[in-house]
Amino acid sequence: MRERAKAVLFDVGHTLVGGSEPSARRLLGAELRLSAKETKQAGRLLMTHFCERPAALADVLKQRLPHRSQAEIEESVEKIWQRQTVAIEEMGGAAALLRTLKQRGFQLALLSNMWHPFYEGLRGACAEMLELIDHTFLSYQVGCKKPNVRFFHHALRTMGIPAQHCWMVGDSYELDMAPAIKTGMRTIWLLNQPAREKSTIAQLLRGEKQPPDWVVENLEEIASFFGDREA
């Protein structure tokens, strides 16, 4: 029999909050007319470089985008920074779910690919929800992003809880489920955008990928899943 779980880790975007489409990477790519390769590289920097001011981030981006003017980069970063700060809305039932799990004795953590303006927006729009969180692991603060398993191992070491005692909840198989499975965590796939996961679903049905422990369509089902489970 498996030991009782001690913690539940959550992805943030499209799991606990919405309103972040399109992504910061795509916004920046469109603003600066970047190639697909440049957009991917810039996106990785946004999510893994610690910057709390748009001007500082623009300085770092300029080193990666020498063919763009400093003024153009600063203007684009400032524009996207402000947009992401106000674009966040809590998913229905998110705070209620976290409160229920907290009452049942679980430690709660966020494990998310995120840059600073999104986190600022999260703190402003979801203060009640964040008060329930015990640990926060954000890619721009840690220096690596999902699906890198180092990110997951860092979270587990910091919490001091073995992987098998933790659940990972997220909307992406590639970013959330696959690396969590590799680390030995238990997994709940919030499949709220199945059209984006058609290829993965087909691979799972063919037995080409390891399935998560459970699949739900909404946050309310997660509360029902845990039911009488306690930490």
pLDDT on residue 209: 97
pLDDT on residue 230: 59
Residue 20, CA atoms < 13 Å, CB-side half-sphere:
25
If one compares 185 and 92, the residue with the highest pLDDT of the two is: 185
pLDDT digits over 97-123, tens only? 999 999 999 999 999 999 999 999 999
Q: Report the percent of the chain where pLDDT is more than 90.
A: 90
Instruction: Look up the pTM and report it.
Output: 0.93
pLDDT digits over 69-87, tens only? 999 999 999 999 999 999 8
* Mean pLDDT of all residues in 128-153: 97
Question: With 80 as the cut, is the pLDDT of residue 65 above it?
Answer: yes
Ranges of each domain in the chain: 7-20+88-226, 24-85
7-20+88-226: in CATH 3.40.50.2000: no
